[in-house]
Structure 1
Amino acid sequence: MKTVLVIPDGVADEPQPQLNNRTPLQAANVPHMDAVAECGQVGRTDNVPASMPSGSDVGTMSLFGYDTLKFHTGRAPIEAAAQGIELADGDWAVRCNLVTVLDDVMVSFTAEQFPNDAGRELISLLQKDQCGDSHWKYHAGVSYRNLLLYRARGTAAPFTAETSSTPPHDITDQPIADYLPQGPGADQLLALMNRSRELFADAAPNVARRAADQLPATQTWLWGLGRRPALEPFVDRYGKRGAVITAVDLLRGMGRLIGWDVVEVDGATGYLDTDYAAKGRAAIETLKRDDVDFLVVHVEATDEASHEGDTAAKLAAVENIDRHIVGPVHDWLKSQGDYRLLVCPDHPTFLRTRTHSHGYCPFAMCGTGIEVNSPSTYDEVAASNSDLVFDEGHRLMGYFLNY
């Protein structure tokens, strides 16, 4: 039996005044998601424990059926796995954003979607500056998303589980002073961030950006640090051979850590301009493979729209997911016989705050052996009226797979 999880990242939201006090899911035209609800079950799940920061690293680990209070160590080591970077005992990975901070305010956590080539040039500049230190190593990623590694090399790392950091997307338009790294080793992170400001001030990519009236990357922002998590393979845990379609390193890394195949799709960007139809086609082609029982299709666009506070873009993104992914994939699954389909975000991302939030996410599931529990729409209100509730989100996967 083929099983599919579609993740419209961060789609869960609050009622919006500009949408006549409806949530984006209520206001959007999503007939295919509503069809999943109508022929199956709607409920709600809390994927992010209150004691942990809300983000896709926690939310997706929980959604994939792993107790984050037991397994989660940090966001950066998951992204390191996406790049094929091995972390030895004692090593730490740190997420390294290229950001724009002006007058000590976080103006842009992406440095206005900093270009890949320009970003690599800045990361190379940082690495040359640190080449005499055997512990630190920068790795260029995509756009503003990069990594910094601390290689222990037999020594004790300066960090502990008490070292804290704040995601830059949580503090857009806010002063940064209260959100700098804290705890053991924080002084080293702050020193590196301060050094990046010096190196970036007159760096060629930033000079060119300013001349073109574009935002420069004024510094790095270091956060999400952690060690490699010890995750049981998904096939051992749930008896399903998995694959994941995503344009985001975090999901690629999660997939690799639990033994899934990572399917790359041309035109998938991890942003609002992603090729939804290409993802839908790739999903069906992947499901035809004999070595794939379980497929995750992740779309970041809904989350990005919330981070930008763009209501229209969030509506468009979820409608595109519905039209080009949920609809075609559900039709194909029904044509094959036994199947199960689940639609669920990893966490709420509010347009009002432009950041991730704690709280319940609505889900809809249907397929073989799943009884109907009445709701005919997929949205937060329908989910809040359902008796199907998972206060510990990692338990949803076992229920969905009937494992």
Structure 2
Amino acid sequence: MKHIIILGDGMADWPAESLGNKTLLQYSSTPYMDKLAAMGRTGRLVTVAPGFHPGSEVANMSVMGYNLPKVYEGRGPLEAASIGVELQPGDMAMRCNIICIEDERIKNHSAGHITTEEADVLVRYLEEKLGSDRIHFYTGVQYRHLLVIKGGNKQLDCTPPHDVPLQPFRPLMVKAEVPEAQETAGLINNLILASQELLADHPVNQKRIAEGKDPANSIWPWSPGYRPQMEPLSGKYPAIKKGAVISAVDLINGIGHYAGLRRIAVEGATGLYNTNYENKVAAALEALKTDDFVYLHIEASDEAGHEGDFKLKQFTIENLDKRVVGPVYEAVKDWDEPVAIAVLPDHPTPCELRTHTAEPVPFLIYYPGIEPDCVQTFDEVACVEGSYGILKEDEFMNEFMKK
């Protein structure tokens, strides 16, 4: 049996008065997810272990069955792997957002969803002006980039910028958790302030302002760490001899790299509501012909949650259902070799809050011959009654890979 996980990033949400006290999964039209829930089994999964921040790296590593206290090293090293940066011993990697600051406040974490082409110009400029034998900037995708500091101390208190929209930025700058990290914290804060001076009047930002767009006028490094020690999924689950990851997000591709999954790049994959769903599905189905396992990650609903846009998030959820879940199911249901399908979010990103939370997320597992439970729809409320109950740590992957 082959296996595919369809991950709707940040898809879970809270009940909203404007939706008749329903969640967006309850409110949206999701006939295929509901069908698979009714034909399969459901439950809830704890993706954020106690003591961990509900970041996408934490949640997706949990979905894949990794023990976070043993392997977690922050987001930065995962993104380094995705863009081909080989970390050496002592190299500290950090996720480095390019953000928009207005009136001393973090207006948004994405610089108004700057394009990769624009961001590449800015990152190269910062590397030219601020880079050194010890400090290097690397271009990622859109607003998501990488800072590597040789000999950096990772014992830092860093704030993810998507957690603090509209908050004053200065009180949120990097703080040392131990005296030994004070030099590293000071270095990073100096880089933040220096980037603001350098980017303020850069031609890319002059053009963006003239077009009515947010300027990309500051870096914001966070989630530091060193190279992680992760066992490939093939070592954890004998049924996975060969696997693939499909995502527009460097972080997810980095997790896939350390998990031993090959990365499949998809033309038109943006990580936003306008991503090319059809190309991602085609790539996943093609991979399933030769691979045992595919991790198909769709980012759009998370971005809509961060923007606090209920209508956009509904649109992304319904697109996931009709343009991803439906086509995958319809394509594989008659294959000679059966395919197990799991659908779930990694964490909630409530529109009301505009950031991640740590509540358990709903999940469904379907494969031909599975004995269904009583749940008829796929959402946060219905899956409370699911026969899997609440799973944690590697229990979800253990259940999913049983067949």
TM-score range, shorter chain: over 0.9
Which residue is 2:140 aligned to? 141
Once the two structures are TM-superposed, the CA of residue 328 in structure 1 deviates from its matched residue by: 1.6
Q: Is the 8 A contact 1:23 1:380 kept in 2?
A: yes
Shift of 1:391: 4.7
| Residue number in structure 1 paired with 2:360 | 360
**1:267 partner SS:** coil
- Residue of structure 1 in register with 2:284 after alignment: 283
Contact in 1 for aligned 2:141/2:249 (Cα 8 Å): no
What letter matches 2:285 in structure 1? Answer: I
**Corresponding residue number in structure 2 for 1:339:** 339
Partner amino acid for 1:5? I
Shift of 1:309: 0.9
Query: Does 2:262 align with 1:269?
Result: no
User: Distance in 1 between the 2:220 and 2:71 partners?
Assistant: 25
- The gaps in structure 2 that reach 5 residues or longer are none
Distance 2:119 2:361 in 1: 34
Q: What pairs up with 1:31-70 in 2 under 5 angstroms?
A: 31-70=31-70
Runs of 4+ off more than 6 Å: none
Provide TM-score, normalisation by structure 1: 0.94
The C-alpha deviation readout for 1:277-334, integer Å capped at 9, x for no partner, is: 2222222122112xx0011111000111111111111111111111111112112222
Instruction: Give per-residue Cα distances to partners, 1:142-182, cap 9 Å, x unaligned.
Output: 2211111113xxxxx2413x312111111111222332211
Bigger Cα displacement from structure 2, 210-219 vs 60-69: 210-219
Provide the C-alpha distance between the structure 2 equivalents of 1:44 and 1:196, rounded to a whole number of angstroms: 43
TM superposition score normalised by structure 2: 0.94
* Residue equivalent to 2:217: 218
Which of 153, 158, 168 is the matching residue for 1:159? 153
Q: CA RMSD in A?
A: 1.5
> What corresponds to 2:169 in structure 1?
176
CA–CA separation in structure 2 for the residues paired with 1:211 and 1:40? 53
Contact 1:47 1:346 in 2 (8 A): yes
Q: C-alpha deviations, 1:64-86, integer Å up to 9, x for none?
A: 11011211110011011001111
Is 2:379 the partner of 1:379? yes
Q: Which residue of 2 aligns with 1:154?
A: none
Query: Which piece of structure 1 moves more, 111-120 or 26-35?
Result: 111-120
Equivalent pairs counted in the alignment come to: 394
* Equivalent in the alignment of 2:261: 260
1:401 matches 2:395: no
Check the 8 A contact 2:90/2:152 in 1, yes or no: no
- Aligned positions of 1:199-218 closer than 5 A: 199-218=198-217
Deviations 1:22-50 (A, max 9, x none): 11111111111111111111100110123
> Whole-Å Cα distance in 2 between the matches of residues 122 and 280 of structure 1?
33
Q: Measure the CA separation in 1 of the matches of 2:280 and 2:366.
A: 21
CA distance in 2 between partners of 1:26 and 1:32 (Å): 13
How far is 1:387 from its partner?
4.9
2:85: which partner in 1? 85
SS at match of 2:219: strand
Contact 1:390–1:396 (Cα < 8 Å) also in 2 = no
Instruction: Give the distance between the partners of 1:141 and 1:367, measured in 2 at CA.
Output: 36
Unaligned runs of 5+ in 1: 152-156
The whole-number CA distance in structure 1 between the counterparts of 2:391 and 2:8 is 20
User: Matches of 1:334 and 1:207 in 2, distance apart?
Assistant: 52
In 1, the alpha carbon distance for the partners of 2:281 and 2:115 equals 27
Q: Distance in 2 between matches of 1:265 and 1:125?
A: 28
Counterpart residue type for residue 171 of structure 2: D
Aligned to 1:355, the other structure's residue is in SS state: coil
